Amino acid sequence: MSTASSQQVVHWQRTKRLMIIHLVIWFIFSFVIHWFAADTNKISFMHFPLGYYMAAQGSLIVFVVQLFFFSKQQDKIDRECGMAEAE
Amino acid sequence: MSTRMTGSFIDNLPKIYGIYTGGFIAFILLMALGEHWGMSEDAIGIAFVAFTVVIYAVIGWLSRTMQVDAYYVAGRQVPAVFNGMATAADWMSGASFVAMAGGIYMGGFPYLAFVVGWTGGYVLVAVLMAPYLRKFGCYTVPDFIGTRYGGNLARFCAVVVLVVASFTYVTAQINATGTIASKVLQIPFGVGVWIALVAILLCSMLGGMRAVTWTQVAQYIVLIIAYLVPVIWMSNKQGFGVIPQLVYGDALARIAEIEPTLGVGVLKPEKAIPGLSALTVMNAAAPKGLIGNIQFVTLVACMMMGTASLPHILMRYFTTPSVKAARQSVAWSLFFIFLLYFTAPALATFTKLQVLDPNLATSIIGKPIESVMALDWVQKWHNVGFLSIVDANKDGILQVNEFFMRGDIVVLATPEIAGLPAVISGLVAAGGLAAAMSTADGLLLAIANALSHDLYYKMIDPKADTRHRLIVARVLLIAIGAAGSAVASLRLTGILGAVAWAFDFAMSGLFFPLVLGIWWKRANRPGAIAGMVVGFLAGTWYLYMVRWGGMTPWYGIDHLRFGIIGAGASVIAMVAVSLMTKEPDAETQAMVDEIRIPRGETYLSATH
């Protein structure tokens, strides 16, 4: 195996780790918190029932912010591993 | 711009669309003046629709092309932010614009599953799919399946799933476009759908993906203004301030207070009216019990995995200049979509308050039926059969279970319900039209491109020259559009029902073959074919059984969620068959390695 391909292996490992981190966050805000909506609805958040707020807004904000972070993080991995595109 | 997209056009995009936005706002103000001077409401509506459609048509004309890569992937030079806007318009359909707030209005909390599902799906698109497909360099989604797994059969299966899913979806869009056209122009729905088709084709026929991209950006600007303005206006009028999304908690509380006094959730309609429904669900009550929870998360899962498998969305990321831009573009897409989706529940809430709250002059529940029937908006929607009042207990007072309407009309009727000026109604109609048209364009193009590129060029006539390919693509576009209009005029189901099915079909057949094609090198041709065929058939069978076959849904997984069954069967079949058969050859494995890194040329050549 050449150096290039060992770099490729590292790149893919880091990419996979980033993928798993983001999918865990995604899973929590897509499914886990809404499963408990009946309970969280009893909590008030900015005058909203929390369960409703998370489904109507909270999870959405998490997804948007998460994707901008993901884009930055993956780009960093690409550059550090020498796998980024030529600018 | 007419023959070649020049660098300066791309550089000038912010300026061009800035001027366009300014022009649109000026037009709104002009119409407001017109109303002041006595222009009729109908004339304003027609002016809005005509003005915007003419602009889209002009953009479509200016973007005409005879180059293959411009036609299929807009020359791969759409900047991330603009592709984000185009994707948002591509994505937000008649269902999002016209029907979603209405769904939340009628369905309450459980309907928020659509809001969560239709945003979170983009996490899957960004993390699992888009950058890799962009690096791959395909023109269509079946192009990836066909090349990654090899062989015409795999490509053909992908084309079939794509066509079924997208066609289900496009009929709903033409339906929505036709609904708006028939309302604004006051023509029968059956005529409306054909007028809608002509408008849709004007945007896409001559310039393919390039024309669709630049019209979609223009359509996004119209639709987001049209969605936000009435909500902000209404919120301001009710004293909730100008950022309604942050403060409608108090409106929710007020609704929760009123609901018991009106018997919401207690009173049920005596007789069902087909296509219409009465409000029977409490607004913010969480899904109840195990089945309620399962229904919520399975609907979220279906909409998300469907998002990540729908070809008209994935192909938007083929148009960015780089892999990095594709990733950024997904984030921007979601941001632009978010602007509408976090407003939809606010809109539903404010409208509901307008209708229910006895302290507001606009309320109708609890009022004498005679005076309600005299309201302009009630009459108008009643006349087209979208609304109905039945005095079941003969007391002459309107109860919540005596007022029936189609959820779809909430967004379109809101300005009238809240007593906003007619110019706002016109604006909303233009926005709804933009939303439905842009999605219809993306879908028609996805279908026609798959048939012209994958079926015709790759499988039937690989020697066809460019001219021939692009003519075939256009003929198919018209034929599929006509077929869609014909089906839409039959009005098979409400707008949202059919849309959910499209997601289920797409995820049943395509989700795992796409994801595993990138993330699992061991996935091979027999596995992928098994995944597509078994997933698609299992999903379709389940849909048939629960919808028409009289089967009781398993654990609340009803016809809106059949993708759970399809995708489940798909992944089992795909993994099992892949492991039982030979691993892919070295060349295929090298291809997978290649698409996993952004560096270097696309795997497929620029004009394949």
Question: Helices B586-596 and B512-519: crossing angle, nearest 10°?
Answer: 90
Q: How close B439 gets to chain A, by Cα (Å)?
A: 22
CB B441 within 8 A of CB B161: no
Question: Helices B41-62 and B152-185: crossing angle, nearest 10°?
Answer: 150
* pLDDT level of residue A2 (50, 70, 90 thresholds): very low
State how far the Cα of B309 lies from the Cα of B314, in Å rounded to an integer.
7
* A57 touching chain B per CB within 8 A: yes
Contact residues, chain B, for A64 at CB < 8 Å: 119, 331, 334-335, 338
Candidates B405, B512, B495, B485; CA nearest to B201 is B485
From its phi and psi, is residue B243 left (phi > 0), alpha (psi between -120 and 50) or beta? beta
B48 φ, ψ (degrees, to nearest 5): -60, -50
The amino acid that residue A69 corresponds to is F
Q: Is B440 exposed, middle or buried (0-12, 13-18, 19+ CB in 10 A)?
A: buried
Specify if A85 maps to a domain: no
Number of domains forming the structure of chain A: 1
How many beta carbons lie within 10 A of that of residue B250, not counting itself?
16
Residue B26 has what pLDDT? 93
Please write the tens of the pLDDT for every residue from A14-32.
999 999 999 999 999 999 9
- Mean pLDDT, residues B393-397 taken together: 82
Residue B239 has what pLDDT? 80
Q: Which helix (H) or strand (E) holds B233?
A: helix B208-237
DSSP codes, A39-74: HHTTSEETTEEHHHHIIIIIHHHHHHHHHHHHHHHH
Residue B498 has what pLDDT? 67
* Residue B246 pLDDT > 90: no
Parent domain of A62 = 3-80
CB B74 within 8 A of CB B88: no
State how far the Cα of B306 lies from the Cα of B567, in Å rounded to an integer.
10
Straight-line distance from the first to the last Cα atom of chain A, in angstroms, rounded to the nearest whole number:
28
Domain boundary assignment for chain B: 7-261+280-351+419-596
How far is residue B557 CA from its own chain's centroid? 22
Specify the range with the lowest mean pLDDT, choosing from A25-29, A50-54, B204-208. B204-208
State how far the Cα of B288 lies from the Cα of B492, in Å rounded to an integer.
30
Specify if A12 maps to a domain: yes
In chain B, the percentage of residues whose pLDDT exceeds 70 is 97
Distances in whole angstroms, Cα of residue A27 to Cα of each of A19, A21, B334: 12, 10, 17
Candidates B445, B441, B422; CA nearest to B433 is B441
CB B300 within 8 A of CB A31: yes
* Residue B518 pLDDT > 80: yes
* pLDDT level of residue B3 (50, 70, 90 thresholds): very low
**A:B CB pairs within 8 Å:** 149
State how far the Cα of B79 lies from the Cα of B519, in Å rounded to an integer.
27
* A74 touching chain B per CB within 8 A: yes
Residue B459 has what pLDDT? 83
Specify if A74 maps to a domain: yes
When the pLDDT of each residue in chain B is averaged and rounded to a whole number, the result is 87
- What's chain B's length in residues? 608
Q: Which of B599, B601, B602, B603 to mutate to test the interface with A (most CBs of A within 10 A)?
A: B599
Cross-strand bridge partners of residue B387: B405
Specify if A86 maps to a domain: no
Residue B334 has what pLDDT? 96
Residue A30 has what pLDDT? 93
* Residue B148 pLDDT > 90: yes
State how far the Cα of B433 lies from the Cα of B196, in Å rounded to an integer.
9
Q: Which of B115, B297, B324 to mutate to test the interface with A (most CBs of A within 10 A)?
A: B324
Question: Looking at chain B from residue 324 to 353, which residues have their Cβ under 8 Å from any Cβ of chain A?
Answer: 324, 327-328, 330-331, 334-335, 338, 341-342, 345
CB B356 within 8 A of CB B252: no
Give the SS3 label for residue B404: strand
Distances in whole angstroms, Cα of residue B494 to Cα of each of B98, B172, B243, B408: 12, 8, 31, 8
Structure tokens at B513: 């073959």
How far is residue B105 CA from its own chain's centroid? 18
Please write the tens of the pLDDT for every residue from B533-584.
999 999 999 988 888 888 888 888 888 899 999 999 999 999 999 999 999 9
How far is residue B373 CA from its own chain's centroid? 33
Candidates B525, B513, B522; CA nearest to B569 is B513
At the topology level, CATH places domain B7-261+280-351+419-596 in: Sodium/glucose cotransporter (1.20.1730)
* Residue B486 pLDDT > 60: yes
Distances in whole angstroms, Cα of residue B8 to Cα of each of B4, B13, B16, B65, B438: 11, 9, 11, 18, 25
* Residue B86 pLDDT > 90: yes
* A49 touching chain B per CB within 8 A: yes
